[in-house]
Structure 1
Amino acid sequence: MKKLFILLISVASFISCSDPDEVTYSGNPTFVGFEQNVYNLRVPRDLSLTQDIKFASSSVSSVARTYNVTILSDVSDADPATYSIPTTFTIPANERFGILRVTATDNNLIDATVKKVVLKLSGLGEKETTDSEILSIFIYEFCPIVVSEFSGLFDAETWLRQGGSTHQIDGGTAENTLIIDDFFLDSNPDFVITYDDNNKVTFASRKTGRLYQGNDIYARMSTSSAQVSEIDACTGRITLWVEYYVPALNGTFGVMQEVFQKQ
């Protein structure tokens, strides 16, 4: 759908230099569609989030065009109390774009578990066609990291320390960084991690302070797309996927899931 939407935008940009025709359609089919077929609504805790979903047409009409959206309840598992979706939306007369406005609200009913609501488009004109009849919206709770609130004591279960330990975690000197105190076992024990706007975590490779057969064991991020380190600020949990390896022996202990949970 994205390629079609780009094409529609290009057509609209080209024709917008002239006044729209007073004819509803030409003899050719009119292509209509959503900008994307999938949307993710990350709802801040205790708040609401509104998403304007753009809908485009390859032609201009001299009258407004109204379309219907129906929730497919058999394949939707989001609580209806957590979202508001109109049953119709409109492309105004002499325009090529319309907006379907969707609002998701926490209501203490949303958590980090991803839920979805699936919509079906209908009400197309006789000469209209689309390749985006189904629209999926995923809803889940998202808590941005507020360092002053997130900092504190964390309990950890880690491979490196062979069991449980407790660490103070505070904001780092650089922007979007956290420092896990006394995690590593050498003279520089603090573990510095960096997080982005989606709370995904990265960190630099470094020595751990542990040895294997007299050789240094290092730690680095997993490169697997299925093992992404991240912070759940809603629950106070940090999950790091760390590969422990020994460069001198060209060997690895594998990727370990290191978890830190705020007390």
Structure 2
Amino acid sequence: MKKITFLLLMTLSLFVFNSCGDEVDNTEDINYVSFENTAYTFGVDLASTTSRDIKVYTTQVSGSDRTFNVKVDLTKSTADPASYTVPASVTIPANSNVGVLPVSITDLNIGEAGKKLVLVFEPAEGLLYGAPITLNIKQVCPLNEVILTINFDSYPDETSWKLFNSTGAVITSGGPYDGQTKLIKAFCLANGTYTFTIYDLYGDGIAPGTYQLVYNGAAIKAGGVFGVSESTTFTVNK
């Protein structure tokens, strides 16, 4: 794998030089550094901190350690600056062309849509560097994930819902909605029994709209035809 990556980086470097009209006789003289990829899915456990190692490759192998400076591109990143820790540099150990950049991200203002963290190399004299890497940050449920999907009828302002735990306490709720056509909501639930109730203010359900609860890829409940409300009790156990 390292050999393949090494050859790929050499090819990229030659392309850069040739496109500029320069001639390179010895590819070992090319000082090129690159992230392992241009995009990386970075899952973060809910209410937790997750660390990942981002690999960095060079075309050259040296007898001594080499350090390359890294920074966050704040103009393209959407992650909360307080949510991540990124070292200011990455070290390629002696006699190697692979280094590791440890990145830690905390579940802070990530939201269901996720965030982006874009890393780039700091320019340096005589250094060619690859494209930035975009860390696509997503929340990950370490417990039981249940997905609610609602395809609204023409009156989303009449629709609302609640999720109750086994004692009857409301743990989360939503609605009514204004102008939306679809809702996708993920619940991260501990082992136990829950009751989901959907309501329609007018009392005629949401048909021809629909709703569905899915757990472990299987539908717990699917419907849309009901009156004022409809309740479904289910148990999750991971």
Give the shorter-chain TM-score range. Answer: 0.5 to 0.7
Cα 1:165/1:139, change in 2 over 3 Å:
closer
* 1:74 to partner: Cα distance: 2.3
Deviates more, 1:37-46 or 1:96-105: 37-46
Counterpart pick for 1:154 among 188, 196, 215:
196
Q: Is the partner of 2:75 in helix, strand or coil?
A: helix
Distance (whole Å) between structure 2 residues aligned to residue 37 and residue 5 of structure 1: 19
Question: Which residue is equivalent to 2:70?
Answer: 69
Aligned partner of 2:220 among 174, 177, 180 = 180
Which residue of structure 2 lines up, in the alignment, with residue 115 of structure 1?
A: 115
Q: 2:35 aligns to what? A: 34
Aligned to 2:129: 130
Q: 1:60 to 1:112 in 2, by over 3 A?
A: same
**Secondary structure in structure 1 of the residue aligned to 2:94:** coil
Q: Is the 8 A contact 2:34 2:129 kept in 1?
A: yes
Q: Which of 136, 139, 145 is matched with 2:137 structurally? A: 139
C-alpha distance in 1 between matches for 2:82 and 2:38? 23
For the 8 Å contact 1:153–1:166, the answer to whether it is kept is no
Deviation string for 1:171-195 (max 9, x for gaps)? 6xxxx3434247499xxxxxxxxxx
Q: Counterparts of 2:3 and 2:120 in 1: how far apart (Å)? A: 18
CA RMSD, 1 decimal: 4.1
Does the Cα contact within 8 Å between 2:44 and 2:140 map onto a contact in 1? Answer: yes
Letter in 1 for 2:218: L
- How far residue 163 of structure 1 moved from its aligned partner, in angstroms, is 6.1
CA distance in 1, matches of 2:28, 2:71: 29
How far off is 1:5 after superposition? 8.6
Classify 1:125/1:90 alpha carbon distance in 2 versus 1 (closer, same or farther; 3 Å): farther
Q: Distance in 1 between matches of 2:61 and 2:190?
A: 52
Distance 2:221 2:76 in 1: 45
For each residue in 1:109-159, what CA deviation from the matched residue of structure 2 results, as whole angstroms up to 9, or x when unmatched? 332132222222025562x42332x222222322245276475333458xx
- Indicate the structure whose relative CO is greater, using CA pairs within 8 Å and at least 6 residues apart: 2
1:86 is aligned to 87
TM-score, reference length from structure 1: 0.50
Query: In the aligned structure 2, how far is the partner of 1:112 from the partner of 1:182?
Result: 22
Q: Name the % identity.
A: 27
Structure 1 residue runs of 5 or longer lacking an equivalent are: 13-24, 186-263
Shift in Å, 1:11: 9.3
Return the letter of the residue paired with 2:117. Answer: V
**Cα 1:156–1:4 shift into 2, 3 Å:** farther
Shift of 1:164: 8.0
- 1:75 Cα offset (Å): 2.3
Over residues 163-221 of structure 1, what are the superposed CA-to-partner deviations in whole Å (9 max), with x where a residue is unaligned?
68998x696xxxx3434247499xxxxxxxxxxxxxxxxxxxxxxxxxxxxxxxxxxxx
Structure 2 unmatched ranges of 5 or more: 11-25, 145-188, 200-204, 226-238
Native 8 Å contact 2:211 2:222 kept in 1: no
